[in-house]
């Protein structure tokens, strides 16, 4: 069970880069996490170009695959995880370069596959369970809902005047 909340947010989608904001929030009032680490498995760590408030080192058990990295805090920011609640959080942004041949945000690709905080597994939903947005909107369903609501309103108004 993950002792903290980890929020992975795709912040900006540039033409050649994309930016992720990572927030770690301490909700455990009995623990302070001044020496913490976060291990993240994501297929685009090979294209990580910059981290802003965390330290980063790639973990490459297989020399040709860089899909796992370890993040840890800088001393000043680590002290913020000593308190619990909304003020007990640390944040950083990660800047990834897009790989033109393989880059896509489809099917949960932008989110990590696995996350470990201080060795504790933080369960992530499988990528195919993230909500998908339709490619095009259907005006027909909105129109039929509007017509049904208008008919209901008209019925209420007519019966209210009788």
Residues 137-155: tens digit of each pLDDT: 444 555 666 667 777 776 6
In our burial notation (b when 16+ CB lie closer than 10 A, e otherwise), range 20-37 reads bebebbbeeeeebbeebb
Residue 11 has pLDDT above 80, yes or no: yes
pLDDT, mean of residues 48-76: 85
Encode pLDDT of 94-138 as tens digits. 999 887 666 677 766 788 888 999 888 887 766 666 655 444 444
pLDDT of residue 142: 55
pLDDT of residue 93: 92
pLDDT of residue 108: 67
Residue 65 has pLDDT above 60, yes or no: yes
% of the chain exceeding 90 in pLDDT? 11
Average predicted confidence (pLDDT) for the chain: 77
pLDDT of residue 136: 46
As a whole number of angstroms, the distance between CA 124 and CA 41 comes to: 11
Distance set, CA 162 to CA 49, 77, 149, 153, 154 (Å):
71, 69, 20, 15, 13
Contact 58, 124 (CB under 8 A): no
Q: Can you list the domains of the chain with their CATH numbers?
A: 4-129 (2.60.40.290)
pLDDT, mean of residues 21-31: 82
% of the chain exceeding 70 in pLDDT? 69
β-sheet bridge partners, residue 69: 40, 58
pLDDT, mean of residues 71-90: 75
pTM above 0.85, yes or no: no
DSSP-based three-state secondary structure for 38: strand
């Amino acid at each position: 069970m993950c002792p903290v909340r980890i929020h992975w947010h795709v912040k900006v989608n540039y033409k050649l880069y994309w930016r992720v904001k990572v927030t770690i929030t301490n909700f455990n009032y009995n623990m302070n996490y001044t020496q913490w680490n976060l291990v993240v498995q994501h297929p685009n760590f090979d294209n990580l170009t910059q981290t802003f408030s965390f330290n980063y080192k790639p973990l490459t058990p297989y020399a040709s695959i860089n899909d796992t990295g370890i993040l840890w805090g800088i001393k000043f920011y680590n002290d913020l995880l000593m308190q619990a609640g909304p003020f007990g959080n640390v944040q950083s942004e990660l800047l990834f370069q897009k790989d033109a041949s393989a880059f896509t945000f489809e099917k949960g690709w932008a989110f990590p596959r696995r996350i470990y905080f201080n060795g504790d597994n933080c369960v992530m939903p499988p990528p195919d369970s993230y909500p998908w947005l339709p490619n095009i909107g259907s005006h027909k369903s909105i129109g039929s809902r509007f017509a049904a609501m208008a008919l209901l309103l008209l019925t209420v108004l007519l019966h209210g005047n009788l």
